[in-house]
A = this chain, B = another copy of it.
Amino acid sequence: MSVLIKGGRIITAADDYVGDIFIEGETVSLIGRSLDVRAEKVIDASGRYVIPGCIDPHTHMEMPFGGTVSCDDFTSGTISAAFGGTTTIVDFCLQQAGQTLPEALETWHEKIERAKPVIDVGFHLAVTDLQEKGTLEDLAKAPEEGVTSYKLFMAYKGAIMVDDETLFKVMQVASETGALVMVHAEHGDSIDVLVKQALAEGKTEPKWHAATRPPITEGEATNRAVQLAHLAGAPLYVVHVSCKEAIDPIARAREADWRAWGETCTQYLFIDESYLDRPGFEGAKYVYTPPPRPKENQEHLWHALSTGVLSVISTDHCPFRFDGQKTLGKDDFSKIPNGGPGVEDRLMMIHNFGVREGRISLNRMVELLSTAPARFFGLYPRKGTIAVGSDADLVVFDPNRKKTISAETHHSNIDYNLYEGTEVTGVPETVLLRGQVLVENGELVAIPGAGRFVRRARFGEE
C-alpha cells in the first residue's frame, strides 16, 4: 500500500515547511517539495498541518480500581484516541494483589488480545508488591520484553502504594536495566490520615477529595522521588504534575541537569478545584488524582511547559462513568473511583488554548504531544517525528475547522466529557497509523487490530 499526502504544512518539533510525503508500506519513504510519484491513495493536505501522530504515554484502559473497572477497553479507548490524533498509547499494566510481574504483563497482553486496539500500544509495568509475589529478578527482565518503564504509586495507602524501600530498590534495578522510573507522587501517609479525619468529621462531598490531598503532599513526594532516583542513579519521570509545589522540585532538577523530568495532563491546564464544588454530585466527575488545583496553578503549568521545566502533556485517561461508577461514592468521596477521561481531547485543547492563544509554538506542541513522549519511552525515531524511515503515523490537522467538544460526539464509552461544550478551532481530520488510514472524514475506517503491541527501547536508546 502506498499513500501520498500532498501539499501539507509539515510540522515537527523543529521544522515547519510545505511539502509532499510519500508512504510506502508502514513508513515514510520520501519527502519532497512536489513529488511526482504514483500512489494508491492520495490525500490533499493543502491548507492543513501534517504532524506526527500524537503519543499518549499515560492511559488506563480496562483498569481495575476500587471494585470497578475503567469503562474503556483497548478497542473503545484506542478508537477514541485515534479520533483525537493519537496513534500510540503507553498504558499502565498494573500488578494486582497476588500476581507475579510476568503474570501482570500476561494479563495486559490478554486485554489487547481480547479487545484489540486500533492504534499502537505499549505497556509500563506498575509494581505494587515486591514482598510477596514481585521479585527484583522479574523486574529486571521486563525490558527484554519491550516494557522499559516501571511505575510506582507513592499514594493509595493500603491498596497499591509502595513504601520507600520498594521505591528505592526498583530505582536501583532501573539504574541497571536502563528502564525509566515513573512515579505517581503524593505523600500517601499524610493523605491517608487526612482522609480518615475528614470522614470521621462527616466530610463526605467530592470537594473533600481535594482538601485531603493538598498540593504540598504532591510537592513533597515529587521531591522525594527526585532525590531517591538521583541517589539510585535512575532516570525519573514524574506523572501528572498538577501544581507549583510539584513543579518546583522538577525545576531544581532540570537546573541541576539531573535525569528527572515531569509531565502534566490536559485537565490540569483547564479544570480547577472549584469544579469539585459543582452542585448535586456533579463534582464527582472531576475526582481524579491529583485533584483539580487552585486556578493559579494553571499559569504555573503553562509557564513550566513553555520554559522546558515540564516535558510532556499526557491525558491520564482513566474513565469511569458518572452513572453507576462515580456514584459509588455518593456518600463517601473516598469511594468515588479516581480518574477522568480525555484521551480524545488533548490535541484539540492544546492546539486551541496553547498554540492559538500564544502560549506555545506549533513546534513545541508537537514536541510535547509526540516527539518528547517518543523519546522518553523508547519509541523515537520510529515514532514521534516525520522523517524518512519513520513510521507513517501522521495526523492531517485542519487548523481552521471548528468543533464543540461533547460527550455526545466523543468516542469513549464514558458518559461525560471534562470539557463539555468547549468550542475549539482546529481538529484532526485524517489520521494514519503506519500508513493505514484510521480516521477519515470523521469516520473510523480501520478495524480493531490495526494497532499492535510496541516493544520499546530502553531509556536513551533507540
Interface centre among A12, A164, A165, A214 (most CB of B within 10 A): A164
> Closest CB of chain B to A433's CB: distance in Å?
19
Does A19 touch B at the CB level, under 8 Å?
yes
> Closest CB of chain B to A411's CB: distance in Å?
31
B388 x A33 contact (CB < 8 A): yes
Q: What is the CA–CA distance of A187 and B165 in the complex, to the nearest angstrom?
A: 10
Q: Which residues of B contact A352 (CB under 8 A)?
A: none
Q: What is the 8 Å Cβ interface bit string for chain A, positions 22-46, against chain B (1 contact, 0 not)?
A: 1000010111111100000000000
Q: What is the CA–CA distance of A224 and B232 in the complex, to the nearest angstrom?
A: 18
Number of copies: 4
Does A440 touch B at the CB level, under 8 Å?
no
Q: What is the CA–CA distance of A449 and B27 in the complex, to the nearest angstrom?
A: 41
> Closest CB of chain B to A174's CB: distance in Å?
14
Q: What is the CA–CA distance of A232 and B219 in the complex, to the nearest angstrom?
A: 15
Nearest CB to that of A157 among chain B residues?
B165
B17 x A390 contact (CB < 8 A): yes
B231 x A227 contact (CB < 8 A): no
Contact pick for A33, options B30, B167, B214, CB 8 Å: B30
> Closest CB of chain B to A459's CB: distance in Å?
14
Q: A14-B12, A230-B216 are in contact. Are A257 and B307 (CB under 8 A)?
A: yes
Q: What is the 8 Å Cβ interface bit string for chain A, positions 120-139, against chain B (1 contact, 0 not)?
A: 00000000000000000000
CB contacts under 8 Å to B, within A407-434, are: none
Q: What is the CA–CA distance of A192 and B381 in the complex, to the nearest angstrom?
A: 41
Interface centre among A189, A216, A257 (most CB of B within 10 A): A189
B381 x A16 contact (CB < 8 A): yes
Does A406 touch B at the CB level, under 8 Å?
no
B168 x A190 contact (CB < 8 A): yes
CB contacts under 8 Å to B, within A201-256, are: 214, 216-217, 219-220, 223-224, 227-228, 230-232, 251, 254-255
Q: What is the CA–CA distance of A10 and B381 in the complex, to the nearest angstrom?
A: 12
> Closest CB of chain B to A397's CB: distance in Å?
18
A163 x B190 contact (CB < 8 A): no
B190 x A216 contact (CB < 8 A): no
B214 x A231 contact (CB < 8 A): yes
Does A283 touch B at the CB level, under 8 Å?
no
Q: What is the 8 Å Cβ interface bit string for chain A, positions 243-276, against chain B (1 contact, 0 not)?
A: 0000000010011010000000000000000000
Tell me the A residues contacting B by CB distance below 8 Å: 10, 12-19, 22, 27, 29-35, 163-165, 167-169, 172, 187, 189-190, 192-193, 214, 216-217, 219-220, 223-224, 227-228, 230-232, 251, 254-255, 257, 303, 306-308, 367, 371, 381, 385, 387-390
Q: Other CB < 8 Å A-B pairs besides A14-B371, A33-B389, A216-B227, 11 of them?
A: A10-B387, A12-B14, A13-B13, A19-B389, A30-B35, A31-B388, A32-B388, A165-B190, A165-B193, A187-B224, A223-B224
Q: List 13 A-B contacts (CB under 8 A).
A: A14-B367, A17-B387, A17-B390, A29-B34, A164-B190, A165-B190, A167-B189, A168-B189, A168-B193, A169-B193, A216-B230, A220-B228, A257-B306
